[in-house]
């Protein structure tokens, strides 16, 4: 099977994950896919193949040299986004893309157009795999899986390329933020790994947000409005006062790059009680801590103004910037850089404005930056992947294996 054949086979599995079920994997389709992959890896002659009850599939390509080398890993996720159906994906290859509109679905008038998606123009002359406009494609992250499997096959077929022991790992439930939770880092047994996930050629990510959630509850006092003078305390107004004390420009819609924010994600309120839910994000750990302290200060201020215990705050850390864990082993970034350059890919380092499985794995003791898998417009019907992008990602994997062995 070629890289493209593999990819097309993988997207035929419906592996949409779900936040509702509370089990791992969150949907049975992911296990069906995992079993298929396990058989494929067996037929390819890989070793130490294991699939646990949570749907984590690991395998080994043994070293082909006696040199003492670190064990490295490549990881991708099997699930697709809960945002859009991944059932009956019906992909189509647009050969030698001409830079014009691509009609995905004529009867529903779904068009993939460079007017809305100018990144298409960077892929003229390439072969794009697109959807039929009714589902997502699933390049996130089945492109990553196809690239890893194909790279391992390539290494097996090219024994002249010397490499150390390589582990590959496919996990469920990344899209619901649970891909790393039950990932057995010890069993995976790597010194470091790379996730092959996410976007455009050259992307290399080893920084993400520090993240916390904050829930603030405001207590009011309800009295008949006709008799409320000097008695009623409207918790909605107090909550509004709190909101107005936070810097208005430090919100997602006003920030980019390394700028952090407070993001109000929900309000429930009536006179008696109002609750605000925020998420707090910052790449810088010190500024992140400062943002949490600011929340505490503002809550204290509300309580000074309206009386003790009017406002209560629940702060919870969610994840941290993996940079902390990567910095002591920057050579793993240097290797990825060198591998990209060697295969003609210009590295583009980008700070993730979100979290990744790799960040959680890094804090579990497996330093794990992220490398592009080549797909674009994730999580919806406009998702596509240039075949040439996938080939480049596969070449990067092969080259990393080679470079690690040549040191």
Indicate if the alpha-carbon torsion angle 336, 141, 158, 391 is positive or negative. Answer: negative
The helices-and-strands tally (H runs, E runs) of the chain is 10, 17
Closest CA to 172 of 369, 35, 352: 35
98 as an active site residue: the answer is no
Q: Among residue numbers 122 through 141, which ones bind Zn ion (CB under 5 A)? A: 140-141
Stretch near Zn ion under the rule CB under 5 A, chosen from 88-96, 189-197, 222-230, 294-302: 189-197
Min CB(407)–Zn ion separation in Å: 30
Within 13 A of 198's CA, how many CA atoms are on the CB side? 23
CA 206 to CA 356: how far, in whole Å? 10
Do 295 and 280 form a contact (C-beta atoms < 8 A)?
yes
Contact between 197 and Zn ion (CB under 5 A)? yes
CA angle 366–151–70, rounded 5-degree value: 35
SS3 for 267? Answer: strand
Comparing CB distances to Zn ion, the nearer of 260 and 374 is 374
Q: Is 331 annotated as a binding residue?
A: no
Min CB(371)–Zn ion separation in Å: 12
Comparing CB distances to Zn ion, the nearer of 140 and 250 is 140
Token pair listed for 292: 């949490």
Per the residue annotation, which of 40, 173, 174, 205 is the catalytic one?
174
Min CB(10)–Zn ion separation in Å: 13
Q: Is 175 annotated as a binding residue?
A: yes
174 as an active site residue: the answer is yes
Comparing CB distances to Zn ion, the nearer of 197 and 203 is 197
Min CB(375)–Zn ion separation in Å: 9
CA 35 to CA 394: how far, in whole Å? 23
CA angle 398–402–407, rounded 5-degree value: 150
The site that binds Zn ion (CB under 5 A) totals a number of residues, namely: 3
Stretch near Zn ion under the rule CB under 5 A, chosen from 147-155, 190-198, 209-217, 399-407: 190-198
Q: Is 197 annotated as a binding residue?
A: yes
Comparing CB distances to Zn ion, the nearer of 197 and 250 is 197
Comparing CB distances to Zn ion, the nearer of 140 and 282 is 140
Contacts of 53 (CB under 8 A, 6+ apart): none
Residue ranges in contact with Zn ion by CB under 5 A: 140-141, 197
Instruction: Could you list the residues known to form a binding site for Zn(2+), using ranges.
Output: 77, 140, 175, 197, 379
Catalytic residues: 79, 174
């Amino acid at each position: 099977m070629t890289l493209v054949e593999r990819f097309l086979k993988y997207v035929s599995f419906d592996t949409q994950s779900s936040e509702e079920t509370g089990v791992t994997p969150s949907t049975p389709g992911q296990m069906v896919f995992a079993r298929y992959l396990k058989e494929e890896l067996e037929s390819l002659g890989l070793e130490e193949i294991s699939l646990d009850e949570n749907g984590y599939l690991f395998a080994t390509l043994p070293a082909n040299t006696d040199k003492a080398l670190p064990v490295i890993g490549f990881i991708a996720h099997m699930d697709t986004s809960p945002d859009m159906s991944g059932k009956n994906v019906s992909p189509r290859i647009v050969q030698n893309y001409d830079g014009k509109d691509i009609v995905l679905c004529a009867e529903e008038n779904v068009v993939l157009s460079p007017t809305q998606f100018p990144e298409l123009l960077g892929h003229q002359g390439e072969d794009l795999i697109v959807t039929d406009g009714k589902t997502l494609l699933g390049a996130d992250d089945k492109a990553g899986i196809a690239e890893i499997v194909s790279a391992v096959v390539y290494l097996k077929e090219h024994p002249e390329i010397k490499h150390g022991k390589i582990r590959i790992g496919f996990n469920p439930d990344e899209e619901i933020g649970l891909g790393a939770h039950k990932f057995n880092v010890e069993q995976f047994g790597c010194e470091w790994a790379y996730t092959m996930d996410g976007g455009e050629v050259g992307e290399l990510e080893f920084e993400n947000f520090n993240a916390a959630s904050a829930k603030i509850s405001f207590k009011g006092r309800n009295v008949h409005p006709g008799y409320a003078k000097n008695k009623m305390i409207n918790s909605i107004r107090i909550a509004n006062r709190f909101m107005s004390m936070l810097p208005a420009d430090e919100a997602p819609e006003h920030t980019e790059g390394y700028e952090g924010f407070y993001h109000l994600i929900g309000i429930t309120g009536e006179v008696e009680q109002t609750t605000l839910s925020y998420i707090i994000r910052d790449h810088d750990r010190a500024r992140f801590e400062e943002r949490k302290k600011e929340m505490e200060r503002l809550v204290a201020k509300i309580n000074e103004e309206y009386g003790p215990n009017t406002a209560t705050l629940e702060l919870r850390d969610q994840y941290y910037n993996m940079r902390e864990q990567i910095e002591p082993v920057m050579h793993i970034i240097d290797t990825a850089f060198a591998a990209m350059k060697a295969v003609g890919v210009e590295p583009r380092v980008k700070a993730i404005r979100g979290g990744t499985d790799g960040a959680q794995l890094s804090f579990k003791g497996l330093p794990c930056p992220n490398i592009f898998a080549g797909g674009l417009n994730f999580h919806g019907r406009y998702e596509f992947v240039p075949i040439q992008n996938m080939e480049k990602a596969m070449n990067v994997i092969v080259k990393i294996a080679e470079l690690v062995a040549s040191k």
